[in-house]
Amino acid sequence: MVEYTAYCVKCKKKNVKMKDPKVVKTKNGRKAAKGTCPKCGTTMMKFLPNK
């Protein structure tokens, strides 16, 4: 399982490791990692390169 880090908007912290990340595809076809912040539980998202 790959660990993804993203910015938490609610905590205002950079490089927070996502809890239970899942790779999803957005409406326009871009890949993204979607998970939750381990501290506050807010949904986090980070766009991934299309490889």
What is the pLDDT, as a whole number, of residue 50?
79
Q: Kindly list the domain boundaries of the chain, sorted by start residue.
A: 5-47
Beta bridge partners of 24: 32
What is the pLDDT, as a whole number, of residue 4?
92
What is the pLDDT, as a whole number, of residue 35?
94
What is the pLDDT, as a whole number, of residue 22?
94
What is the pLDDT, as a whole number, of residue 28?
92
Please write the tens of the pLDDT for every residue from 1-51.
789 999 999 999 999 999 999 999 999 999 999 999 999 999 999 999 976
Q: What is the dihedral angle through the alpha carbons of 19, 22, 23, 27, rounded to the nearest 10 degrees?
A: -110
Element (H, E) at 43: strand 43-47
Query: In this structure, are residues 16 and 35 in contact, taking their beta carbons and an 8 Å threshold?
Result: no
